[in-house]
Amino acid sequence: MTVTIVGSQLGDEGKGGIVDVYGDAADVVVRYQGGDNAGHTVVHDGHEYKLSLVPSGAVRGKVGVLGNGCVVNPATLFEELDALRERSLDPDVRVAERAHVILPYHRTLDGLEEDVKSDEDLAAGTTGRGIGPTYEDKAGRRGVRVGDLLDPETLRARLEYAVPRKRALVEDVYDLDVGDDVDADAFDVEAIYERYREFGRRLADEGMTVDCGRFLAERREAGDRIMFEGAQGTAIDIDHGIYPYVTSSNPTAGAAAVGSGLGPTVVGDGEVVGIVKAYLSRVGTGPLPTELGSVDGQTPPDGGRPGESDLAEFIREEGGEYGTVTGRPRRVGWLDVPMLRHAARVNGFTGLAVNHLDVLAGLDEVQVGHSYTLDGEELLTMPTTTEKWADCEANFRRFEGWPDVEWSTVAEDGYDAIPENGRAYLEYVAEEVGAPIYAVGVGPGREETVVVETPF
Ligand code: GDP
Ligand code: IMO
Ligand code: MG
Ligand 1 atom at minimal distance to the Cα of residue 40: 4
Of 278, 374, 388, the C-alpha closest to 334 is 278
Best of 40, 49, 126 to mutate for ligand 2, by most ligand atoms within 8 A of CB?
126
Mean pLDDT of 185-213: 98
Query: Is 101-203 the same fold as 2-97+208-273?
Result: no
CA distances (Å), 71 to each of 43, 117, 136, 299, 350, in order?
25, 23, 11, 28, 28
pLDDT for residue 124: 81
pLDDT cut 90: percent of the chain above it: 94
Mean pLDDT of 272-280: 98
Q: Is 235 in the pocket of ligand 2 (CB under 6 A)?
A: no
Q: Is 320 in the pocket of ligand 1 (CB under 6 A)?
A: yes
Write the residue with the smallest CA distance to atom 21 of ligand 1: 444
pLDDT cut 70: percent of the chain above it: 100
pLDDT for residue 253: 98
User: What confidence category does residue 326 fall into, taking pLDDT thresholds of 50, 70 and 90?
Assistant: confident
For residue 342, indicate whether it is catalytic.
no
DSSP 8-state code for residue 64: E
Tell me: pLDDT of 25 over 90: yes
Q: Is 274 in the pocket of ligand 1 (CB under 6 A)?
A: no
Q: Phi/psi class of residue 114: alpha, beta or left (left: φ > 0; alpha: ψ in -120 to 50)?
A: alpha
Q: Is 133 in the pocket of ligand 2 (CB under 6 A)?
A: no
Q: Is 333 in the pocket of ligand 2 (CB under 6 A)?
A: no
Best of 41, 229, 280 to mutate for ligand 1, by most ligand atoms within 8 A of CB?
41
Tell me: pLDDT of 96 over 80: yes
Ligand 3 centroid to residue 430 C-alpha, Å: 23
pTM of the model: 0.97
pLDDT for residue 118: 84
Mean pLDDT of 373-378: 98
Give the strand pairing for 393-400 and 365-374. antiparallel
Out of 36, 40, 336, 358, which one is annotated catalytic?
40
| Three-state secondary structure call for residue 405 | coil
Could you give the CA distance from residue 434 to residue 348 in angstroms, rounded to a whole number? 10
Which architecture does CATH list for 277-450?
Answer: Alpha-Beta Complex (3.90)
pLDDT for residue 45: 84
Mean pLDDT of 255-279: 97
User: What confidence category does residue 236 fall into, taking pLDDT thresholds of 50, 70 and 90?
Assistant: very high
Tell me: pLDDT of 63 over 80: yes
pLDDT for residue 448: 96
Write the residue with the smallest CA distance to atom 12 of ligand 1: 14
User: How does pLDDT run across 407-448, given as a tens digit for each residue?
Assistant: 999 999 999 999 999 999 999 999 999 999 999 999 999 999
Element holding 418 (H helix, E strand): none
Of 8, 49, 55, 23, the C-alpha closest to 36 is 55
Q: Is 73 in the pocket of ligand 2 (CB under 6 A)?
A: no
Tell me: pLDDT of 56 over 90: yes
User: What confidence category does residue 44 fall into, taking pLDDT thresholds of 50, 70 and 90?
Assistant: confident
Best of 6, 13, 236, 243 to mutate for ligand 2, by most ligand atoms within 8 A of CB?
236
Could you give the CA distance from residue 203 to residue 208 in angstroms, rounded to a whole number? 5
pLDDT for residue 245: 94
Ligand 2 centroid to residue 205 C-alpha, Å: 32
Ligand 1 atom at minimal distance to the Cα of residue 275: 3
Write the residue with the smallest CA distance to atom 16 of ligand 1: 444
Ligand nearest the Cα atom of residue 50: 1
Mean pLDDT of 357-362: 98
Pick the CATH number of 101-203 from 1.20.1260.10, 1.10.300.10, 1.10.760.10, 3.30.479.30: 1.10.300.10
Q: Is 229 in the pocket of ligand 1 (CB under 6 A)?
A: no
Q: Is 37 in the pocket of ligand 1 (CB under 6 A)?
A: no
Ligand 3 centroid to residue 26 C-alpha, Å: 21
Ligand 1 centroid to residue 13 C-alpha, Å: 6
Q: Across the chain, which distance is largest between two alpha carbons, in Å? A: 65
User: How does pLDDT run across 128-151, given as a tens digit for each residue?
Assistant: 999 999 999 999 999 999 999 999
Tell me: pLDDT of 102 over 90: yes
Could you give the CA distance from residue 5 to residue 349 in angstroms, rounded to a whole number? 9
pLDDT for residue 328: 84
pLDDT for residue 431: 98
Domain spans of the chain, in order of start? 2-97+208-273, 101-203, 277-450
For residue 40, indicate whether it is catalytic.
yes
Mean pLDDT of 298-303: 92
Domain 2-97+208-273 has CATH 3.40.50.10490: no
Task: Tell me the HSE value of 387 on the side-chain side, using a 13 A CA sphere.
Answer: 2
User: How does pLDDT run across 105-122, given as a tens digit for each residue?
Assistant: 999 999 999 998 888 777
Out of 12, 20, 110, 148, which one is annotated catalytic?
12
